[in-house]
């Protein structure tokens, strides 16, 4: 599959130029501009190169640790269930990363506290 790195680079410049303050908290689920990435790293989709993520930890007012979410079940060892509404999502534990808050596009809601705690516990086990 051909990846459009040039289109993502143009979009990334606009995201970088955002100067609005974005407030976020642990356990929140957001649409996030993850972009076009290398190899097996999770890519975003659509115009904003977005995908849903869950915020694992706030590091500063401007950065956080996130886990991308997917609806596809893969290696159970590297996934944790994070449901939102009627949709079963899986947090991709092996895709954890630090992002700038400017990548956060739209808040979707909150993860269940029990599922979130389980995901964090499983993340610590694989680190």
pTM of the predicted structure, to 2 decimals = 0.87
**Residue 16 tokens, joined:** 């970088």
* Residue 12 in this model has a pLDDT that exceeds 90: no
Instruction: Round to whole Å and give the CA distance between 51 and 71.
Output: 11
Contact of 43 with 34, CB cutoff 8 Å: yes
Instruction: Round to whole Å and give the CA distance between 125 and 121.
Output: 6
Contact of 103 with 17, CB cutoff 8 Å: no
CATH topology of domain 5-126: SH3 type barrels. (2.30.30)
Instruction: Round to whole Å and give the CA distance between 93 and 24.
Output: 20
* pLDDT 10s digits, 77-105: 788 888 777 788 889 999 999 999 999 99
Instruction: Round to whole Å and give the CA distance between 31 and 63.
Output: 15
* pLDDT 10s digits, 32-84: 998 877 676 677 777 778 999 999 999 999 999 999 998 888 767 788 888 77
Rounded to 5°, angle at Cα 40 from 38 and 27: 100
């Amino acid at each position: 599959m051909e990846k459009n790195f040039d289109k993502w680079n143009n979009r990334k410049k606009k995201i970088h130029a955002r100067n609005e303050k974005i407030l976020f908290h642990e356990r929140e689920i957001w649409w996030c501009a993850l972009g076009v990435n290398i190899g097996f790293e999770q890519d975003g989709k659509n115009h904003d190169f977005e995908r849903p993520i869950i915020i694992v930890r706030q590091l500063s007012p401007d950065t956080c640790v996130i886990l991308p979410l997917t609806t596809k079940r893969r290696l159970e060892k590297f996934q944790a269930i994070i449901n939102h509404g009627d949709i079963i999502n899986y947090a991709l534990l092996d895709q954890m990363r630090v992002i700038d808050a400017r990548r956060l596009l739209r808040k979707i809601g909150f993860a269940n506290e029990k599922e979130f705690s389980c995901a964090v516990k499983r993340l610590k086990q694989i680190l």
